């Protein structure tokens, strides 16, 4: 959208151009500066207003910088003591003050991946259904339901996870998986109900809405002509969706998935409540685990000793950097599709 009117506020002639368009010759413009001192006040006020909102915009930039700065400065102790080994060590021993983040990074990545594996097909399916199949009347209701799913607080997902989902997994899901897929080594060991699998399922439910809503936006952006062309060539509806819609929307859907991943990595409360909180690396998804976010939330208020605090801060720093990269990547992908149009989906 082009800027209109006396945008800068600094060039007086433009003001006249607006108020007296009929006289638009350059002769008339030259008269203006003498005209009224009132204009000068307006110029000042315009600049001041612009300055104030510019400050607000700069505050957004400053916030991200501030977060990074505070995390680095608070984790200095741990950074200097452990260096890069912090990222690859498996030890987590507050008593001996020896810390390594590997089990937490592993838990974060694996639980998020489990979440994605479950959530991606479901959410892409939902988006396709909403746009391409669903009757108009149901569409409004269904999208409200998906929106509500996004509005449920993390801690309530956790509450539900502890008392409803985990027992369900223990009784129904885990025996089934162990019986038929136990040979993969991913589904074996004692069946608690809570653990990596439960965390992955909760994460899946929580990231469904965001992936679905962005996928939906991307699919809507695919030109109608593409669909009509495919149908005119005799494609069935599914073939049309595959050839015309999904293929065109692929980078955007990929962006939506990455954005979902960003959310999954940072999920805190619900994950803390169902993952079991044990810093171990196990192959089986039935085993308890720990994530960066849940460790920070769980141990930070109880941490004694500066090194312990600092190690937890460094974990937050690792989490921040990972999500920063993931979100930036997702942003670029989604933007490349819906260029110029601000994406509401992130809200």
Partner 1 sequence: MLKNLHTTSLRRRLSNWIALGSITLAALIVTVPLFLILGTVVVRGLGTFNWAFLTQIPKPIGEEGGGMGNAILGSVLLLGFASLIGVPLGIGAGIFLAEYGRNKFGNIVRFTADVLNGVPSVVIGMTAWALVVVPQGHFSLLSGSVALGIMMIPVISRTTEEVLLLVPQSIREAALGLGIPKWRTIISVVLRSASAGIVTSVMLAFARIAGESAPLMFTAFGNEFWSSNPNQPVAALPLQIYKYAIQPYEQAHAQAWTAALVLISMIVLTVVFVRFIVSRGVIRGAD
Contact 91, 100 (CB under 8 A): yes
Stretch that binds partner 1, among 12-20, 83-91, 179-187, 280-288 (CB under 8 A): 12-20
Pick the binder of partner 1 from 31, 91, 233, 346 (CB under 8 A).
346
Asked if residue 37 binds partner 1 (CB under 8 A), the reply is: no
> What is the C-alpha to C-alpha distance for residues 200 and 207, in angstroms, rounded to an integer?
10
Contact 116, 206 (CB under 8 A): no
Q: Which residue, 73 or 184, has its beta carbon nearer to partner 1?
A: 73
Q: For residues 63-92, which are near partner 1 according to CB under 8 A?
A: 63-64, 66-67, 70-71, 73-74
Contact 94, 303 (CB under 8 A): yes
As given in the structure block, the two tokens for residue 129 are: 């259904």
CB of 53 to partner 1, least distance (A): 4
Asked if residue 136 binds partner 1 (CB under 8 A), the reply is: no
Asked if residue 282 binds partner 1 (CB under 8 A), the reply is: no
CB of 281 to partner 1, least distance (A): 22
Asked if residue 187 binds partner 1 (CB under 8 A), the reply is: no
> What is the C-alpha to C-alpha distance for residues 265 and 270, in angstroms, rounded to an integer?
12
Q: Facing residues of 99 across strands? A: 92
Pick the binder of partner 1 from 175, 254, 300, 307 (CB under 8 A).
300
Q: Identify the CA nearest to 210 among candidates 168, 161, 167, 265.
A: 265
Stretch that binds partner 1, among 15-23, 76-84, 87-95, 187-195 (CB under 8 A): 15-23
Q: Which residue, 55 or 185, has its beta carbon nearer to partner 1?
A: 55
Q: For the window 320-339, what string marks contact with partner 1 as x by the rule CB under 8 A?
A: x--xx-xxx-xx---x----
> What is the C-alpha to C-alpha distance for residues 312 and 299, in angstroms, rounded to an integer?
8
CB of 287 to partner 1, least distance (A): 20
Pick the binder of partner 1 from 114, 214, 253, 259 (CB under 8 A).
259
> What is the C-alpha to C-alpha distance for residues 332 and 327, in angstroms, rounded to an integer?
9
């Amino acid at each position: 959208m082009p800027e209109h009117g006396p945008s800068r506020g600094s060039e007086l002639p433009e003001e006249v151009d607006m108020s007296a368009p009929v006289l638009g010759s350059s002769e008339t413009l030259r008269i203006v500066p003498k005209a009224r001192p009132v204009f000068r006040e307006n110029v000042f006020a315009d600049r001041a207003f612009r300055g104030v909102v510019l400050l607000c915009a700069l505050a957004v930039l400053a916030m991200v910088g501030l977060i990074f700065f505070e995390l680095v400065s608070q984790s200095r102790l741990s950074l200097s003591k452990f260096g890069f080994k912090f990222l690859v060590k498996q030890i987590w021993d507050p008593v001996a003050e020896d810390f390594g983040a590997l089990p937490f990074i592993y838990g974060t990545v694996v639980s998020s991946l489990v979440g994605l594996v479950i959530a991606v097909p479901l959410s892409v399916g939902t988006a396709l259904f909403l746009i391409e199949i669903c009757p108009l009347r149901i569409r409004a209701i269904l999208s409200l339901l998906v929106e509500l799913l996004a509005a449920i607080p993390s801690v309530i997902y956790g509450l539900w996870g502890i008392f409803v989902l985990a027992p369900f997994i223990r009784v129904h899901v885990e025996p089934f998986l162990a019986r038929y897929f136990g040979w993969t080594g991913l589904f074996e060991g004692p069946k608690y109900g809570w653990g990596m699998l439960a965390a992955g399922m909760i994460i899946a439910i929580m990231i469904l809405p965001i992936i679905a809503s962005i996928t939906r936006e991307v699919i809507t952006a695919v030109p109608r002509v593409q669909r009509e062309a495919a149908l005119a060539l005799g494609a069935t509806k599914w073939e049309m969706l595959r050839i015309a819609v999904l293929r065109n929307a692929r980078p955007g859907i990929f962006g939506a998935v990455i954005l979902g991943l960003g959310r999954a990595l940072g999920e805190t409360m619900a994950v803390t409540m169902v993952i079991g909180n044990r810093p171990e690396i196990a192959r089986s998804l039935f085993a308890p685990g720990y994530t960066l976010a849940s460790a920070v939330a769980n141990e930070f208020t109880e941490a004694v000793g500066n090194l312990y605090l600092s190690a937890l801060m460094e974990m937050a720093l690792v989490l921040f950097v990972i999500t920063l990269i993931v979100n930036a990547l997702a942003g670029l992908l989604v933007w490349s599709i819906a260029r110029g149009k601000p994406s509401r989906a992130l809200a």
